[in-house]
Amino acid sequence: MSKVKYQGNKKISFVISLKYLDSESKMRLLTDEGNFQTLKLLVAADIGQVNLDKQLVNHDERVIPYLTGSRLPILEVYPGKFLFSPNSAARLLLASVITEENESAVDQWLDWEAACLLPSVFPYLNALNGHGKVDDSLVQEVRNLVAHMDKELAGKNTLSGSQLTVADVAVWSTLYPALSGKFALKDWEVSFTNVKTWFSDLSSRSEFQRAVKEVCAGDTSQLKSSLASQPAPLRVPEAVSSKQQVQKQTSKQKEDTQAAPEKVVASPEEVSSATEAWLTGIQHCTKPMKRVHPVLPEKGRRNILITSALPYVNNVPHLGNIIGCVLSADVFSRYCRLRNYNSVYICGTDEYGTATETKAIAEGLTPQQICDKYSALHRDIYKWFNIDFDYFGRTTTSQQTEIAQDIFWQLHKKGFISQNSVEQLHCEKCDSFDDARGDQCDGCGKLINAIDLIQPKCKLCRNPPIVRSSEHLFLDLPKVEPKLQEHLDAAFKTGTWTNNAKVFYVWFDAPIGYISITANYTEHWQHWWKNPDNVQMYNFLGKDNVPFHSVIFPATLLGADDNYTVVKHMSATEYLNYEDGKFSKSRDTGVFGDQARDTGIPADIYRFYLLYVRPETQDSSFSWDDFLLKNNSELLNNLGNFINRALMFVSNSFGGTIQPMDLNSDDYNLLALVNRELHTYIDNMETTRIRDSIRNILSISRLGNQFMQENKPWVLVKGTDTDRKRAGSVVSLAANLACLLSVLLQPYMPEVSATIQRQLNVPDTCNVVYQDLVCHLSPGHKIGQPSPLFQKIEASTIAELKKRFAGQGPPPSNKLKGRKGGDAAPGSAVSPEDTERIQAEVTKQSNKADKFTIDAEVKVLLDLKKKLTEATGQTATAPGGGKQKGNKQGKQPASQGEMKVIANSRTVDSAEVDRLTALVAEQGNKVREVKTSKADKSVVDREVVMLLDLKKQLALAQGMDPDAAVGGGKKKGKKK
């Protein structure tokens, strides 16, 4: 017997949702009058101190857009994201105040409540409310369940021991109308004394009393209308009474999990909706709309203007740059096309600024030649990554000059431009204001002025510049603030803004490049940019660009007061790091766009992994070990295995012809579960939660693999005619799932998607994301020739790539080696004035106490101390005055940038490397989970130690230095 997983009773990680518990946003509770299951959520919210926006709806009201009916109550965690299980919702609401000490016991009780208790109490209450009497067999069934509880509660204060948990809340809420009021079991208090004590203790608590008052005011007869309208809960296949028996049915023994994968049961409403869509949905599917350039807004359609942050022309983008803007926007753009939205995707290179001039001088070229060179490089990189812009332009155009000047004069005429003098660094030798990187600290993000830099030097001649005043024009933000505030209030309420998209800074002309590039795309650019009522603009960018796009650019357009389209949706990513450090071109660390193609790994594999680890809510890292794991497990063994297995079976056993599909109840349940994932996929995409949607795709392929494994068509095809027909139904339904996956994959892996569709020989009409799974491949359809979609990446390949892109490591220490105490460094004589100045800087630095910048300040302080040591002729020691840990006296420490090579003549054991790679990835996920859940420091430290140990084992297995594998001299706690 397949095990039944009652979705929502198991403990689930709600990382995004938990953020809402600490915010000002309210979760919305949707329920009907007198629904006794609402007790669970009200009690949990009260204990968890979570404010709920309770909304009463009619019993038959359709409150979820994609469901024909709804079982209440429902918790809307945030707009469009629902929890249908009251037990899951209650567990979430309690998560911030209760840490479950006996999680296994809680899981068992929740399973028992959902599978046994509620399915018995519900008809018991319904019979008494509707007819005033109930069958003796049903009464006895409820009594048996309470008797089981009474036995389990012997010697306990709560169901799981001594701690109040969601299990107590859920079971008490379901039992409340059966143990109190006019419908209470007869003499239960005498028969079940342990239950009586437990029930009375909870009923005396104020949180439980307030919930009862709100639901039925203590009168259980008020539950009648809700009981009559809500669907009866599902029962487990066999009658059971103990939580242990339920656990056996809902949790297979470990050795059986591979043979009988878990089966999730969809609701009757979901199954009914999925059945109707499968049988008739193809009639309602719209065909893909032909796109003709230039794409212009159309009345009556959803017009979406998509921009990604303009990359600076004078550098080569690395993988973090690519996921931070152009790739994320490309996924959303492709999705919009699959939904038949009228969208246009605009991007280009930002080519203005003194940095371009500096780069040109450094390379011996003119600024125009530099722009031409690197703009072409950007185009080639994005083309290889399959970034499908509608137009990729440049800012060095006459349209940029014309539009930027027009906006400036509009602002000037309206009094939004002010003039002020600014102190800047000026190099007298070069006779130019230096392009000092004083805008923002790369380490901590603090905004600083160039003149605050310590010992600045001219980039060109390396001479120290002087401070000189010059006059500048400024956008007067305080004057524009009322318009900006009004716009932002509306955008935050109705638009999609990620949590890291609400900060402040100054910028002016760069974002105007979006407008001028559109003007190069079409002379009718104003249809997009001066049409705020009919156009929605989406910005995709990294968090470092948020200030410019969320404040300065909107303020500029609003101040110009020329009916400009202003951003209402902003999707900002955090930073993608490389392994345990940062991408660095100067140190050759990490993979850059022009290097990725030379690895021999297809662009779609990079796309998949970058989107899988997209840093949506916190910084993430590109890890080669995890890259291998995701390719070999998620792509090769999950997605590729399902599609290839299904199509090869159609090809080899049925001549490549789709067979008649006679579906049974299990098949329709599968369709309902696929639609559940599809609905979530759409919801995630609409709110630019791009990383989450890729998990929906993988979940659908897992469902397909389970479906094939359960039905075993390779066995059926050798049986009777009936068995063979069943095999044809199974693999033909699987082929239709593969067709759906090919469409959903298009935004993520366009080349793989096209390959699947060629193998399926599908019509172009399937390339629309419809709200439900429909039958695109009807009986008689001839598929193409199947072939494997993905290849295994070997551990030896990854080891080679890790070594290739490890770079030079951190800059070598400038500490002086081998110098006797008191000896001055050669050529480092320092004047008394310099010594005095450095001492003053050390004192000044030591007194700073801004927590936000403490790491950066400490770094500066240590650097100053080293300089002071050298200036006074003292021995250069490790920061803090002590010896470096592990460095024996008389031995020279290896520089941080060096990688020790371990003599290892043995052959690398690929199987062992694969095993350890999987363990490292698993432990890495566990470390991220405990950090995200804000676990105790001791717990976090323990998991980190285990991770570092596994990394050392992996490094040894790969023939590498284990110390280098765990980050060597990386400072603990320093966030990159």
The pLDDT tens digits of the residues spanning 729-750 come to: 999 999 999 999 999 999 999 9
Q: What are phi and psi of 536, to 5 degrees?
A: -105, 130
Q: Is 258 helix (H, G, I), strand (E, B) or coil?
A: coil
Say what the pLDDT of residue 847 is: 42
User: Could you tell me which residue, 38 or 915, shows the higher pLDDT?
Assistant: 38
Q: At CA 291, angle to CA 288 and CA 294, rounded to 5?
A: 165
The order of strands in the sheet holding 342-349 is 391-394, 342-349, 303-308, 535-542, 569-573
Tokens of 671: 């369709």
Q: Which segment of 349-358, 406-415, 668-677, 784-793 scores lowest on mean pLDDT?
A: 349-358
DSSP assignment letter at 548: I
**138 compared with 701, residue with greater pLDDT:** 701
pLDDT tens for 321-345 read 999 899 999 999 999 999 999 999 9
The pLDDT-based confidence of 249 (bands split at 50, 70, 90) is very low
CA angle 508, 593, 599 (to 5 degrees): 170
Angle, vertex CA 64, rays to CA 63 and CA 70, nearest 5: 70
pLDDT at position 903 is 33
pLDDT (tens digit per residue) in 501-516: 443 233 567 889 999 9
Pick the closest to residue 960 from 906, 909, 900, 918 (CA basis): 900
How far, in whole angstroms, is CA 402 from its chain's centroid?
Answer: 40
Residues 857-876 have a mean pLDDT of 54
| Residue 308 bridge partners (DSSP) | 540
Question: How far apart, in whole angstroms, are the C-alpha atoms of residue 91 and residue 12?
Answer: 9
Segment 576-601, tens digit of pLDDT: 999 988 998 878 899 999 999 999 99
**Cα–Cα distance measured from residue 588 to residue 318, given in angstroms and rounded to the nearest whole number:** 11
pLDDT band at 85 (very low <50, low <70, confident <90, very high): confident
Distance CA 594, CA 597 (A): 6
Taking the C-alpha atoms of residue 199 and residue 148, their distance in angstroms, rounded to an integer, is: 14
Q: Reduced to 3 DSSP states, what percent helix, strand and coil does the chain have, rounded to the nearest 5?
A: 50, 10, 40
Distance (Å, whole) CA 365 – CA 369: 6
Considering the chain, what percentage of its residues have pLDDT values greater than 70?
A: 75
**Closest Cα to residue 159, out of 91, 240, 100?**
100
- 3-class secondary-structure state, position 628: helix
Q: Model confidence over 602-627: pLDDT tens digits?
A: 999 999 999 999 998 888 999 999 99
Cα–Cα distance for residue pair 88/85, rounded to 1 Å: 5
Report the mean per-residue pLDDT for the chain: 79
Which comes out higher in pLDDT, residue 532 or 817?
532
Alpha helices in 95-165 (DSSP H): 103-112, 118-131, 136-152
User: How many other C-beta atoms can be found within 10 angstroms of the C-beta atom of residue 608?
Assistant: 25
Q: Under a CB-based contact definition with an 8 Å cutoff, are residues 194 and 153 in contact?
A: yes
Residue among 665, 649, 580, 609 nearest 920 (CA) = 580
pLDDT(259) > 50: no
Residue 180: name the closest of 189, 191, 171 by CA: 189
- pLDDT tens digits, one per residue of 144-186: 999 999 888 888 889 988 789 999 999 999 999 999 888 888 8
Query: Is the pLDDT at 116 greater than 70, yes or no?
Result: yes
Upper half-sphere CA count for residue 300 (Cβ side, 13 Å): 0
Q: For 793-825, how does the pLDDT look when each residue is reduced to its tens digit (9 = 90+)?
A: 999 999 999 999 998 654 444 332 333 333 333
**Would you call 314 helix, strand, or coil by DSSP?**
coil
**b/e per residue 25-43 (b: at least 16 CB within 10 A):** eebbbbbbbbbbbbbbbbb
**Residue 364 identity (one-letter amino acid):** G
Query: How many C-beta neighbours within 10 Å does residue 587 have?
Result: 16
Q: How far lies 813's CA from each of 353, 876, 894, 922, 972, in Å?
A: 33, 11, 10, 35, 18
pLDDT given for residue 234 in this prediction: 58
> Residues with Cβ < 8 Å from 9, sequence gap 6 or more?
85, 87, 88, 107, 110, 111, 113, 114
pLDDT of 942 > 70? The answer is yes
In this structure, what token pair is assigned to residue 352?
Answer: 């203005």
pLDDT on residue 503: 33
Is the pLDDT at 673 greater than 90, yes or no?
yes
Integer Cα distance of 346 and 295 in angstroms: 11
Check: CB of residue 967 under 8 Å from CB of residue 922: no
Contact 295, 555 (CB under 8 A): no
